[in-house]
Amino acid sequence: MCGIVGYTGRGRAAGILLRGLAALEYRGYDSAGIALSGTPLAVFKCGGRVSALAGMMPPSSAHAGIGHTRWATHGAPCAENAHPHLSFDGSLAIVHNGVIENCDELRAECTARGIPLASQTDSELAAHLLALDRGDIPERLFHLANRVKGAFTVLVLREGDDKVYAYKRGASLVVSSGKTGCYVASDVAALPPSCKEATVLSDGECAVLSPDGTFRTMTETGTPSGHVTVALSERGSSRGGCRMRAEMDETPSALLATFASFSSPFKGKAEVLARLRTCARVMLFGCGTAYHACLAGKGMIERVAGKPCEAYPAGEAEDIPFCGGDTLAVFVTQSGETADTLRAMEECKRRGAFTLAVTNCEGSTAAINADACLPLAAGAETAVAATKSYCCQVLALWLIAKSAEGSGGEKEAVLDLSAKCAEALKLRLPPELCLSPKLLFIGRGPDAVTAREGALKFKEVTWLPADAYPASELKHGPIALADSDCTVIAVLTDAGNVPRIRAAVNELRSRGAKVVVCSAAGDVGGDVTLPLPVTEECLLMPAVAVIPLQRLALECAEQLGRDPDKPRNLAKSVTVI
């Protein structure tokens, strides 16, 4: 959500900022804008895509600027609500990532001072209040941050000044020096290849970027911030074509990379392994697809590690019972910046739990704040709908469980899993079977989790409704939907569930529903059966069974003429609550 990029240096800022914003498109947005240095400041913004913004900008020789892609929280997605926002006197332009929780109070103050408001946003208020203050820009940023409640990550450009000013609280921000100048962005994906490392700003830290390619950081008290510097390598793929399809195809190699990461030293590894043996319970937290990985991991940890385990949607974890010093709390987040997950981590740390982040982004807030961090190392994932990262999260949680059990055999199981996922990538459910007015996904046990993830993927990229239920729940309500307009996709990976799934299939078909079965246990009487490859380790079957469902969602989206990489209303990194 809300991509931020800033630049100052010898290069032409407009082109650099547009390329940076294009690299941040995966985060999800509905409008875009750029402010360029000079007297006066030049602001260009529009509703819609970065390509539309590029088309409306005239040639510019400005050497400094700030840019933004907005995901609407306050006010409709349109040009007037897009960032950057100018202060009432035109002296400052700002871009903001976050939500100002006390915006009503600050809006009333601006109105009382006679300041006309040009948008419906909370962010515009920051520009006006900064302009009303006195002192240098960092000093004003510290003053305003003390007044603002909520996430407040902001860039500032001042009229007649080629410096870029940054302040970070809540939403992520990185600073780097490159070949032609200095860069700041919400994500390393926006940094050019000439940037070899990035400084991750800490909450409450301000940075001043100078056109000579240097930057300095500071805190309000003058104490060292303890920020982290990370080496930069992969920034995401520059290949054309559908990113969701490409990332699915990378699943077999990504799984091997996750295993290599787990097998290597990682932050807090020894303590994690020790806690697994001694903790009273394990708690798993995630949002969306990561939450589904937690649901799959719950069964693994209980069955393999022998520990009581609960999985929570991180956004619902404000009151966490039984969480304390005897708890291992695991936070699963692809980006490492998911706001709800970070808040749950903060609450668990407050209660004394040992915290482990499982994330694909080293240098992220989750990776830094957690006591331990297992990097997925799955490679950049920029399609909004998570695919390979889900499979790697499932594997990571299984590896954690196996490390507590200690029987070995992980390498052989992972090699087999990678091979079976490669086979699953060749499977296809015809989209025309599933573009029905009503679509249900069902399964039992771990397969019910796979059904949930399949339904979520379908909703995300097709924008069509789909539901998922445990197969045992059909007769308790959902079977009321079964008729000739209904298609049901059943997931079956455990032969022990054959009798119950066969019964469910018969009940659905007898009411006119069409049933498609993704099965690793033979034919159970569906209209269509898609045979699944079978893993040597049965608990890893969710990573295989989900792949045909991911492909189904992708191909249905394409058949409907929708871009699966950029589904409407969604963001890859959900940085607001």
Q: What is the pLDDT of residues 425-469, one digit of tens each?
A: 999 998 887 888 999 999 999 999 999 999 999 999 999 999 999
Is residue 444 located within the same domain as residue 415? no
> Measured on CA atoms in the order 572, 573, 575, 577, is the torsion positive or negative?
positive
Q: 557 in a domain, yes or no?
A: no
Q: Which residue matches tokens 């798993």?
A: 284
Residues 6 or more apart whose Cβ sits within 8 Å of residue 148: 100, 102, 106, 126
In whole angstroms, give the CA distance from residue 88 to residue 104: 18
Is residue 41 within 8 Å of residue 86, measured between CB atoms? Answer: yes
Structural domains counted in the chain: 3
Residue 400 inside a domain? The answer is yes
Per-residue pLDDT of the chain (577 residues; tens, 9 = 90+): 688 999 999 999 999 999 999 988 877 788 999 999 999 999 999 998 899 999 999 999 999 999 999 887 778 888 999 999 999 999 999 999 988 999 999 999 999 999 999 999 999 999 999 999 999 999 999 999 999 999 899 999 999 999 999 999 988 899 999 999 999 999 888 999 899 999 999 899 999 999 999 999 999 988 766 678 888 865 554 456 899 999 999 999 999 999 999 999 999 999 999 999 999 999 999 999 999 999 999 999 999 999 999 999 999 988 888 999 999 999 999 999 898 999 999 999 999 999 999 999 888 889 999 999 999 999 989 899 999 999 999 999 999 999 988 888 999 999 999 999 999 999 999 888 788 899 999 999 999 999 999 999 999 999 999 999 999 999 999 999 999 999 999 999 999 999 999 999 999 999 999 999 999 999 999 999 999 999 999 999 999 999 999 999 999 999 999 999 988 888 776 665 5
| Widest distance between CA atoms in the chain | 76
Residues 92 and 43 in one domain: yes
- CA neighbours within 13 Å on the CB side: how many for 150? 17
pTM for this prediction: 0.88
E strand spans, 78-137: 85-86, 92-97
Is 70 in the same domain as 198? yes
The answer on 417 and 296 residing in a single domain is yes
In a shared domain, residues 261 and 278: yes
Domain boundary among 424, 448, 465: 424
* Pair 375, 490 in one domain: no
Are residues 247 and 134 part of one domain?
no
Provide φ and ψ at 166, rounded to 5°.
Answer: -135, 145
**From CA 13, how far away is CA 163, in angstroms rounded?**
12
Q: What is the CATH number of the domain that holds 319?
A: 3.40.50.10490
Whether residues 420 and 441 fall in one domain = no
CA 380 to chain centre: 11
In a shared domain, residues 206 and 323: no
Beta strands (DSSP E) in 467-521 are 467-470, 486-492, 514-519
199-227 per-position pLDDT tens digit: 999 899 999 999 999 999 999 988 766 67
Q: Are 435 and 420 found together in one domain?
A: no
Together in a domain, 66 and 15: yes
> Closest Cα to residue 164, out of 150, 151, 177?
177
By the 10 Å C-beta count (0-12 exposed, 13-18 middle, 19+ buried), 166 is classed as buried
Residue 511 identity:
R
Boundary of a domain, candidates 231, 251, 283:
231
Measured distance CA(268)–CA(380) in Å, rounded: 23
**Domain-located, residue 251:** yes
Active site amino acids: 2, 572
Last residue of a domain, which of 183, 206, 231?
Answer: 231
In SS3 terms, 398-439 reads as HHHHHHHHCCCCHHHHHHHHHHHHHHHCCCCCCHHHCCCCEE
- Give a yes or no: residue 546 inside a domain: no
Q: Identify any residues that bridge with 182 across adjacent strands, giving them in sequence order.
A: 8, 177
Could you tell me whether strands 164-168 and 153-158 are parallel, antiparallel, or unpaired per DSSP bridges? antiparallel
Residue 573 lies in a domain: no
Does 194 lie in the same domain as 260? no
The domain in which residue 273 lies consists of 243-424
